[in-house]
Amino acid sequence: MSVDKMAGINNSQVGKVIGNKNLTKPGDIKKAASGYSKEVQVSKEGDKVEISAEARKLQETLSTLKAEIKNMPDVREEKVKDVKARIEAGIYDPDAVTKEVARSIKNSGLI
């Protein structure tokens, strides 16, 4: 396939590249350039993408959730205070906490 530097790829050559993919109405079928006898369809308009209202809403929800997560503190102070109080009272069991964390991670589906 050759490309004309002045005009680019002509419609019949585009058809060769993309093949017959029902790009236009059946009445818009054109014959390809010489040396290629198969009929191809050439789009008269550019490609279009339509995003559904549901997809837009999901994107908006995702953006909102990302913003909320970004604003959350890295350290939950209430948890830190609770652990400090348990350590001072002598009721902190590191093995029990380790097992609970492992169980929580396992049940979360992250692994």
Element at 22 (helix H, strand E): none
Q: Domain containing 74: what range?
A: 53-106
User: 32 lies in a domain?
Assistant: no
In a domain, 100, yes or no: yes
Reported as a single tens digit per residue, the pLDDT across 50-86 is 999 999 999 999 999 999 999 988 888 998 898 889 8
Is 4 part of any domain? no
As to burial, measured by CB atoms within 10 angstroms (0-12 exposed, 13-18 middle, 19+ buried), residue 40 is: buried
What mean pLDDT do residues 12-33 have? 52
- Give the chain's domain count: 1
Per-residue exposure over 71-80, b if at least 16 CB sit within 10 Å of its own CB, e if not: eeeeeeeeee
Query: Could you tell me if residue 29 is inside a domain?
Result: no
Q: pLDDT tens for residues 95-110?
A: 888 898 899 999 988 7
| Structural Rg of the chain based on CA atoms | 31
The reported pTM is 0.33
